[in-house]
Amino acid sequence: MPTLSHRIRLNPTPDQELYFRKAAGTARFVYNWALAEWNRQYQAHVEDPSRPKPSAAAIKRQFNELKYEQFPWMREIHRDAHAQPFANLAKAFSSWWKALESGGRCKAPTFKRKGRSRDSFYIANDKLSLDGNCVRIPVLGWVDMAEVLRFPGKVLSAAVSRTADHWFISISVDVSDETYRRQRLSDGVVGVDLGVKAALTCSNGEVFDAPKPLKNALRRLKIRQRRVTRKVKGSKNREKAKMQVSRLHERITNLRNDWTHKITTKLVRENQAIGLEDLNVSGMLRNHKLARAIADIGFGEIRRQVTYKALRYASELVLYPRFEPSSKKCHVCGHVLAALSLSVREWTCPHCGDFHDRDLNAAKVIEQYARDSLVLC
């Protein structure tokens, strides 16, 4: 059965928020303990190959034998909070190994630092129950939610996390196909050219400009970050100043996500096929002149959302080959220019004489590729 997740803001009491902080701190502590033990056991295996390689399951059993004896304060926190970090660590190492095998740029799992890593903890499905806009959390009891769960179905798991000074619960639900599938409004085909000047240029002539929340809030962000540096380390005033920075970052993220969700939903709801360029976003972010502008639009997030929403609307995402020309290829006759500078926004095809807007032409080339892909399928 398909799975959907719903992220809902919580409205905890002061005592409930204190428990959330303790549970998130416990999860972070256990993750760091497991990572240190993993590194120690792996180093021992390197020095003596007869010793076994570390595994998350073995380290978890080792921790369970000593946790209440060495860390008695863990009895205050439900065991789900200090059981899930071992699975998270195993997943982190698995992702790292896969990246190494594929030759990608990656870093080994690192320790989570308080104030830098995201505060969160896990809740198993058998410990969770819902009643309207309230959720029952182990040890705490009923906690108020800002809204009811949107998707009826079997609850699989949940995770409580903090963003700035707000707490959220993400609930994963097994839903029926009727709930998962959404009705598409039309069967069009559209090509989309992503850019910095115009965030999205569609082959039907529509142009969408991104709100660029980071650019608009950059001055306020610099002021608030400067205030943090002027406060005494460890003081309450410094914590307040850091929270102001976190709140502004949260607002920037919310504005960007709101725009991205609206645009991607419109694309998949109105088209049976969406053509996107297979951009090397991580490589583009190494260009320090354009990195901030590219990150502010969120090219990678646009592709991610179109990918999973296309499944719900029975649409198809077609990726235009990364090394194929789009902007300098004429969509009328197929002629490809030898070179086309980024500063040139309009050009005339020397073969057929057709006049092109750079971004619109690229979108039409991508649309043609998407249509050809549908025919081949």
- Tokens representing residue 102 in the block: 């594929």
* Positive/negative CA dihedral, 360, 207, 319, 274: negative
330 φ/ψ angles, rounded to the nearest 5 degrees: -70, 125
- Tokens representing residue 175 in the block: 């839903």
Q: Exposed (0-12), middle (13-18) or buried (19+): which is 265, by Cβ within 10 Å?
A: middle
311 φ/ψ angles, rounded to the nearest 5 degrees: -65, -40
Q: Are residues 89 and 39 in contact, defined by beta-carbon separation less than 8 angstroms?
A: no
Tell me 140's DSSP state: T
- Tokens representing residue 32 in the block: 């760091």
SS3 203: coil
Tell me how far apart the alpha carbons of residues 294 and 108 are, in angstroms, rounded to a whole number.
26
- Residue 128, sorted as left (phi over 0), alpha (psi -120 to 50) or beta, turns out to be beta
Q: How many CA atoms lie within 13 A of 33 on its CB side?
A: 20
Specify the residue for token string 């410094």: 238
* Positive/negative CA dihedral, 326, 256, 25, 63: negative
Tell me how far apart the alpha carbons of residues 138 and 315 are, in angstroms, rounded to a whole number.
40
The residues carrying an active-site annotation are: 193, 277, 359
Q: Are residues 370 and 273 in contact, defined by beta-carbon separation less than 8 angstroms?
A: yes
Tell me how far apart the alpha carbons of residues 40 and 70 are, in angstroms, rounded to a whole number.
19
Sequence-ordered list of residues with C-beta below 8 angstroms from that of 68, at least 6 positions apart, any chain:
74, 75
* Strand 154-163 relative to strand 166-174, pairing: antiparallel
